[in-house]
Chains A and B, each alone.
Chain A
């Protein structure tokens, strides 16, 4: 029953008004201002394109639903997102037609923006034109004759400024007017196909159009015939197009080619012909052409030397901020959740429920909230980069390097953020339009050395590799750390290059990148995006993280030793009778307790799982205790350190600098007396952590962004296999070369 999927609109009785327009016209700011706080984010049916809707109360008090449609330059698509925009505006299945469309038009680029206006007029969808960025005209010494524009277009045109908040009452009033009397917004097509040959093409195609598209309107029929002639061919990616429609289009195109005609050019020239004949009456020049400030800025920012240097400095600031500025706040959050656990422990009677609340639920919430500082900060930067127009320059500067890896130029900022943390980085892939680019980037980001890997590396390097200097000044331990960064970066590049040429193989789409003028950021919009992205993460990825946290807690806790607390009390009592100073006794009591807790963990489900996976990880040099650590580290990589602390009976409050834990690790022996942790095992372990997807939050974020379980599962499997193979090669290769 695939076609029984309800259309996006069902359930709401409110009239629907779609907000559409070219990219970079301030469309989203207009949408945000119109809808205030009452907004929802959903998905278009069957795709992962977000559908933002909101409510607007018109002057009369009547409520309408406003839909923010993805930006598009025209009604012929080059991407899935543009297809959605076209379906939403034209009312093509599976989306229902809107009751009216508001096209946001950039007043400073009227000529190009009028193109899509003409297309929508042809479709006879009630239209209001929001003539945005009127405030920018002054600096350009230009003026627009709004009355004339409105008269010639035949629809209401509202001059406004989204960033300054002017013109919104008038826009609401005109939306109301058009809804009340749709004729006001549907004057019909402004131009007609001039040549007889093109008219013949249109009538031929019209006869094959589905009835439900044309709604028995002759001019809509002509509009959709033109749309089909321009959009369909042997290799278009439109779904749900009747075969006979595509066949007739192909037939007419072949005929046209034989007659040396160019249908696309005829149609597009027809529309631009109308625009060019009038543009000088719409736009009045008040003075000399002002030298574009943006062009002067770009002379520096796109300069191969200076521009690149500035770019690197900006990116260094973004990285430094994510990596270290958020740290105090994250520690504050962690500390807060720890204190909360402490308070709960003292209030609840000790026992299983108390452990569940503190170790499962609160720890779970803590591991969700702790991401917020990085997410907010990263989206602050992304909001500013997007709003000022610099993000397009990032794509410009990085296109060549990123393309070698099969990635989009805009993938640079998310990839860089991956060095701090994969979770905000994955959310940041939103900045790319195409789903393919987004998903591919998400599959590569988790290979970057995130900050959660550092405690593991620090522990292993500190315990197993002697501090020393190479060539008299290079610290070997530091060199190893840098080596791990280089290794992970290289692996990410290799993964990107391989995935983009296999699983994500796509026909190369030529780049058409608009460099919009630089603008001051609109703070409310930036703020709104920060909040919206954080909320989406909290509510959609948070649930998954919470569930996995609780499952991990249960694995590490059950089966329970009901006598544990009594045994601990007994052990403490025994130690208390021994001779020694009070400090010595207290110390021995803690050790005795840690030893007992280690025993419980070793016999828990996680402990048994550690044993169960030992045959698999033994070829990597790992024993079952490391296996437990790997299971615990799935919550977050740095948890490996505290899990190993419990396993080795030194308590869970150790950190990677702990000398006791390092000593324990160094001295740990197998049954045959040989050491468990050799430098080779340490290297193998670090390689494993560099490549394995040991992070539930990353997987939850990928689930949130792809709206599917398939991608997180694929990510987990490919990274784990990669990690296993690489660790295997390092360990077995090392042994073959004679290392221990």
Chain B
């Protein structure tokens, strides 16, 4: 199981689970399609904004790096 910072930008990974307890944050991510088992692509990490950009189901969603650390992945392929 990998945290986001262990994934190389451009790589795909399968979301496995959420850790931590912010229910409404996790719920909204799931509603946007971030369901365990879903394939997610790490589009970029930007140091300037401290944000990461993820692609899920064809849409591009940005999260703060610290907050995105609540997501766990396993590498694909």
Contacts and interface: CB of A to CB of B under 8 A. Distances in A.
- Interface of chain A, main secondary structure: helix
A285 to B, nearest CB: 12
Contacts of B11: none
Contacts of B26: 264
26 contacts: A73-B31, A78-B28, A108-B58, A109-B57, A109-B58, A112-B33, A112-B58, A112-B59, A115-B33, A265-B30, A268-B30, A295-B43, A295-B60, A396-B46, A400-B48, A400-B49, A400-B51, A409-B49, A510-B25, A510-B67, A511-B63, A512-B29, A512-B62, A513-B62, A514-B62, A515-B60
Nearest to B60: A515
A512 B31 CA distance: 12
Contact of B51 (A111, A115, A399): A399
A517 B53 CA distance: 13
Given A112-B57, A513-B61, A304 B27 contact: no
B62 A398 contact: no
Interface string A505-521: 00001111111110000
B76 interface: no
B67 A73 contact: no
B67 A264 contact: no
Contacts of B47: 304
A265 B27 CA distance: 8
Interface residues of A, number: 40
A109 to B, nearest CB: 5
A109 B60 CA distance: 10
A365 interface: no
Contacts of A264: 23, 26-27, 30
B45 to A, nearest CB: 10
Contact of A515 (B27, B28, B61): B61
A377 interface: no
Interface of A: 73-74, 76, 78, 108-109, 111-112, 115, 230, 233, 236, 264-265, 268-269, 272, 294-295, 298-299, 302, 304, 307-308, 396-400, 409, 509-517
B19 interface: no
Given A112-B59, A510-B22, A510-B25, A515 B64 contact: no
Given A268-B27, A510-B22, A398 B49 contact: yes
B44 interface: yes
A308 B48 contact: yes
A264 B22 CA distance: 12
B35 A268 contact: yes
A510 B63 contact: yes
A394 to B, nearest CB: 10
Given A397-B46, A511-B62, A512-B25, 9 more contacts: A111-B33, A111-B57, A265-B35, A299-B44, A396-B53, A398-B49, A512-B28, A512-B32, A516-B60
Contacts of A109: 57-59
Contacts of A304: 46-48
A693 B11 CA distance: 52
B36 to A, nearest CB: 7
A74 B31 contact: yes
Those 5 A-B pairs whose CB atoms lie nearest each other, nearest first: A510-B67, A513-B62, A74-B31, A515-B60, A510-B25
B61 A514 contact: yes
B50 interface: yes
Nearest to A230: B27
Nearest to A308: B48
A396 B64 contact: no
B49 A396 contact: yes
A233 B49 contact: no
B32 to A, nearest CB: 6
Contacts of B59: 109, 112, 514
A409 B64 CA distance: 12
B39 to A, nearest CB: 12
Contacts of A269: 30, 35
A404 to B, nearest CB: 11
B57 to A, nearest CB: 5
Contacts of B30: 264-265, 268-269
B68 to A, nearest CB: 9
A399 B49 contact: yes
A397 B49 contact: yes
B62 A396 contact: yes
Nearest to B68: A510
Given A109-B59, A264-B23, A513-B61, A74 B28 contact: yes
B51 A396 contact: yes
A78 B26 CA distance: 11
Contacts of B32: 73, 112, 512
A308 B49 CA distance: 10
Contacts of B53: 298, 302, 396, 515
Contacts of B36: 265
Nearest to A302: B46
Q: Which of B28, B29, B53 has the most CB of A within 10 A?
A: B28
A537 to B, nearest CB: 32
Contacts of A236: 24
A74 B24 CA distance: 12
B48 A78 contact: no
A513 B51 contact: yes
Q: Which of A74, A236, A299 has the most CB of B within 10 A?
A: A74
A73 B32 CA distance: 7
Contacts of B51: 396, 399-400, 511, 513
Contacts of A298: 43-44, 53
B54 to A, nearest CB: 10
A576 to B, nearest CB: 72
A511 B32 CA distance: 13
Given A265-B36, A304-B48, A76 B27 contact: yes
A93 to B, nearest CB: 22
A233 B23 contact: yes
Nearest to B53: A515
A391 B25 CA distance: 22
Contacts of B22: 510
B61 to A, nearest CB: 6
B64 A510 contact: yes
A656 to B, nearest CB: 40
A398 B27 CA distance: 26
Nearest to B58: A109
